[in-house]
């Protein structure tokens, strides 16, 4: 039998942590432990992580994090993500603690100041997709631009254990464009959740139509005279914003982070992991850990 390619799951840590936090915060279940520390986000993060590990059975796992809100994108456009409020006070202590928990599982934490988690994910996915089948676990559609023959995306749906898995084929079926064209799609229509406008008055329908015809932003710009008067006027009026939005939308795949595949091998040391969970008084998640009971004496 030929050697099976290793499989690496890259996890968008913030996506899991925020999703877990807000799912319980609405009912006020912050799971405050005896030290007065809320652990609801961490608890749900662990549950999301290992539910996905048991569903997709990766041989290797790494978690990528945002490292503060200032990045090269906020330097390009100061209102980038400027619509996001401050993190809730109950979530703040969980940012550092969740990384300690990941460390106790001997899973690498990866992040780089000045870049978003997505940029680290993109960089590592590209670096290692020749050596492993890469899947990316996130709740964020933006990452779909990274899809290729060796990179798939697992989108978290509501609840635990519900996923939508995308490959370049399923993406094309859904949108009628290639994953790379998603960058141009966002450049044209903007992204309200990241707070940049794209071209005023161009929505998804028009943007998709233009991309199917002219391939990318440059193709559209070099064919302005072939467009309807109103679309031409809109693009000309927002040309600078269109170029800027494209730079904001593109995930950088050349961030100065690297990781050797063997560093991410999934090998949890039972005692080390359980000590950390006990210290934080995280109950009911031990059984989710992929620890081979037969080997551990």
CATH superfamily of 7-171+252-288: 5'-nuclease (3.40.50.1010)
134 φ, ψ to 5°? -105, 135
pLDDT for 296 beyond 60: no
Burial 37-64 (b: 16+ CB within 10 A, else e): bbbbbbbbbbbbbbbbbeebebbbbbbb
User: Per-domain residue ranges for the chain?
Assistant: 7-171+252-288, 175-249
Distance CA 14, CA 99 (A): 11
CATH class for the domain made up of 175-249: mainly alpha
Which of helix, strand or coil describes residue 37? coil
Distance CA 136, CA 197 (A): 27
- Entry pTM: 0.94
Q: What does the pLDDT look like over 138-192, one tens digit per residue? A: 999 999 999 999 999 999 999 899 999 999 999 999 999 999 999 999 999 999 9
Q: What does the pLDDT look like over 32-84, one tens digit per residue? A: 999 999 999 999 999 999 999 999 999 999 999 999 989 999 999 999 999 88
């Amino acid at each position: 039998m030929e050697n099976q390619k290793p499989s690496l799951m890259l996890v968008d840590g913030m996506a899991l942590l925020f999703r877990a936090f807000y799912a319980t915060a609405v009912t006020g279940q912050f799971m405050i432990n005896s030290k007065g520390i809320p652990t609801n986000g961490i608890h749900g993060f662990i549950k999301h992580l290992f539910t996905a590990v048991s569903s997709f059975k990766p041989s290797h796992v790494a978690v990528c994090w945002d490292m503060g809100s200032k990045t090269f994108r906020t330097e390009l456009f100061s209102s980038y993500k400027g619509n996001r409020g401050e993190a809730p006070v109950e979530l703040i202590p969980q940012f550092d603690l969740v990384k300690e928990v990941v460390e106790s599982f001997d899973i690498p934490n990866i992040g780089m100041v000045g870049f978003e988690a997505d940029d680290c994910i993109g960089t590592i996915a590209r670096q290692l997709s020749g050596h492993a089948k890469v899947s990316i676990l996130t709740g964020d559609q933006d990452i779909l631009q990274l899809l290729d023959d060796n990179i798939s995306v697992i989108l978290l749906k509501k609840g635990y254990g519900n996923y939508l898995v995308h490959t370049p084929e399923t993406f094309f079926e859904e949108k009628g464009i290639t994953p790379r064209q998603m960058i141009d799609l966002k450049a044209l229509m903007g992204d309200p959740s990241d707070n940049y406008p794209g071209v005023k008055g161009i929505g998804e329908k028009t943007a998709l139509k233009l991309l199917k015809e002219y391939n990318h932003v440059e193709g559209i710009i070099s064919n302005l005279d072939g467009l309807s008067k109103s679309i031409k006027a809109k693009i000309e009026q927002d040309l600078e914003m269109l170029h800027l939005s494209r730079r904001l939308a593109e995930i950088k795949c050349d961030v100065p982070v690297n990781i050797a595949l063997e560093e991410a091998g999934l090998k949890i040391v039972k005692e080390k992991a359980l000590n950390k969970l006990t210290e934080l008084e995280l109950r009911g998640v031990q059984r989710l850990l992929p620890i081979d009971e037969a080997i551990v004496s």
